[in-house]
Amino acid sequence: MTQIEWRKAAEWPLTAAAALFLVAYAWQVIIEPGGRSLLVTDLAMWVIWGLFLLDYAMNLVLAPDRRRWFWRHLHELLVVVLPVFRPLRLLRLVSVLRVFDRAQEDLLRGRIVIYAIGSSVLLVVVSGLAMLDLERTVPGASITTIGDALWWAVVTITTVGYGDLAPVTVGGRFIAIGVMVGGIALLGTITASLASWFLERVSADDDQTRADARVNVERLSAEIAELRGLVVARGGKDGSDRSGGRIP
């Protein structure tokens, strides 16, 4: 099996696993289950993290140039390995974003806006959950409910920044930096895609206008040639009648 074949085979299972991971994490953060429910969700999240680890290992083993692939994908190694340490467990959510991004790598430009909007929604949900998980038990925190967390994420990703809600923990501020950078990138992608689409439409309209004008000119040229032929033919006939077959 090649690396490309593995990526194609693992794409949908990993996407489903990422979605399940997001649901399990949201359940833990919002509902705050205890006892058996907490155990089940923890187990599910660790199993899914194991799938991410397996995916990384398979990509490394199947890579044509393993050394080059390893150095070019160090960020993926960090995302997979660091969440073993409980204080860095939120990095598992980056795996969710990475898997969803991979599923969209070959999108045509006409779908980029839809992809960017979907990524924005996903980033808002993921960052809101992570922020709530970090902030709500800290004294003096302003982000203490899921509603506050999602509102903060939307305000931040759109670069509005009302300032009514802000993280107070170091981890929360790092998340805020990521959301700011991601928001700028996604808004830039949407803006650039829309501008490109408008330019394409204008160019297509211009090309169509030129094509229509060319057709009209050719049609008019043909009609003029036909009329000229009729005039010459009529003139020849009149000349024959008046001057014995000669056109004056």
The overall average pLDDT reported for the chain is 78
* CA–CA dist 184, 152 (Å, integer): 16
pLDDT tens track for 143-157: 999 999 999 999 998
| CATH class of the domain defined by 1-104 | mainly alpha
pLDDT tens track for 118-145: 778 888 888 899 899 889 888 989 999 9
What's the CATH architecture for 107-220? Orthogonal Bundle (1.10)
- In this structure, what are the phi and psi dihedrals at residue 164, rounded to the nearest 5 degrees? -75, -25
Looking at the chain, the domain(s) classified CATH 1.10.287.70 span 107-220
* CA–CA dist 22, 44 (Å, integer): 11
182 token code pair:
């991601």
Q: What is the rounded end-to-end Cα distance, in angstroms, of the chain? A: 88
Mean pLDDT throughout 52-57?
Answer: 89
- At residue 104, does pLDDT exceed 70? no
pLDDT of residue 57: 92
Full-model pTM? 0.66
Do 130 and 96 contact (CB within 8 A), yes or no? no
